[in-house]
Amino acid sequence: MSPTEDLADVERVLAGEVSAFEGIVRRWQGPLINMAYRFCNDRSRAEEMAQEAFLRAYRNLAGWRRDAAFSTWLFALAANLYRSELKRIPAHNVALDDIAELMDKRSHQAEFEAEDRDRIIRRAVLALPEKYRDAVILYYFHEMDVPAASKSLGLPEGTVKARLFRGREMLRSKLPQLLQGPKLKEA
Amino acid sequence: MEDELDRIFSRRDEMIPSSGFVASVMEAVQRESTASQPIAFPWLRALPIFAALAAVLVMLGIAIFELVRMPVSYVGHWTIPPAIMRVLSQTSAGWVAIALVIALLSTWIPVRLIAGKR
């Protein structure tokens, strides 16, 4: 994904060539849909949210200041939209306490696979309070890159680090079984 | 815990976009580009209004200038200068002012009501 391709396509779209936007969609559809999926855990909704993010990007394309990478601008715009969407229609989540209880019950079942456990943990992240949830989601979306996550959130790095720490602390206190790792299956 | 979370999230399966996704986005973008052309401000039609506004401002300036120039003893029984009075009566300025106020209110009130509903 070269920045020059993005710049060229943006220039063409701004000059009135709407079809040039297709290049941007093709290049960034994967990351935007995956980011949306991390926020909502629902495949069809993730595509709807990503489509809305592309539309918003199209409308605000002139607002991209060239001092930041196009991807940084696009991810920040998308993250902002996804957070608003989740406020408007929350993802179907259970409370963190309920997840902890479910985890506790299931951990005693022999057939409790690591895959199930991972799925429950992902749901637990979505059940975190909004500010911790967003920090955790964007940190992992950006492959554990705090500066990139902070740019997407529009927050200082220190704040993101603090929220990550607090979010993990909450998960640790609610889901202590996580520390046991593979033992879960044996229990 | 950190290692465990890192492990879970870093091996997360990537979601592959559906085959019609790009076409669907581009359709929406094309619709957007044709449907929402911004309405240009009608400068030509607004020109007489701007001219009238400029004339009112000039008259107001003259009135203030004459008021300042007038000796203090005259200020108590100051009247509108005859030249301005003549222009005001010839152009039915009173009716124009009332019409402007009504137009302003009929724009401002709906805007406030809509803003209040959001």
Nearest to B5 among A46, A47, A168 (CB): A168
pTM comes to 0.65
pLDDT of residue A117: 73
Per-residue pLDDT tens over the stretch B54-84: 888 888 888 788 777 777 666 566 676 777 7
CB contact under 8 A, B21 and A47: yes
Query: Which chain B residues touch A59 with a CB distance below 8 Å?
Result: 32
CB contact under 8 A, B30 and A26: no
Cβ within 8 Å of residue A114, ≥6 positions away: A182, A184, A185
Site from A12, A13, A29 to mutate, B interface, most B CB atoms within 10 angstroms = A29
Instruction: Judge contact between A82 and A154, C-beta under 8 A.
Output: no
**Touching check for A119 and chain B: CB below 8 Å?**
no
- Choose among A101, A173, A158, A168: nearest CA to A133: A168
How close does chain A come to B33, measured CA to CA in Å?
7
Q: Please list the pLDDT of chain A residue by residue as tens digits (187 residues).
A: 677 899 999 999 999 899 999 999 999 999 999 999 999 888 889 999 999 999 999 999 998 988 889 999 999 999 999 999 988 877 766 666 666 666 666 655 555 566 677 777 778 888 899 999 999 999 988 888 899 999 999 999 999 999 999 998 888 888 776 545 444 333 3
d(CA B87, CA B30): 54
Per-residue buried b or exposed e for B83-107, using 16+ beta carbons within 10 Å of the residue's own CB: ebeeeeeeeebeeeeeeeeeeeeee
d(CA B57, CA B53): 6
How close does chain A come to B114, measured CA to CA in Å?
21
CB contact under 8 A, A22 and B24: no
When the pLDDT of each residue in chain B is averaged and rounded to a whole number, the result is 79
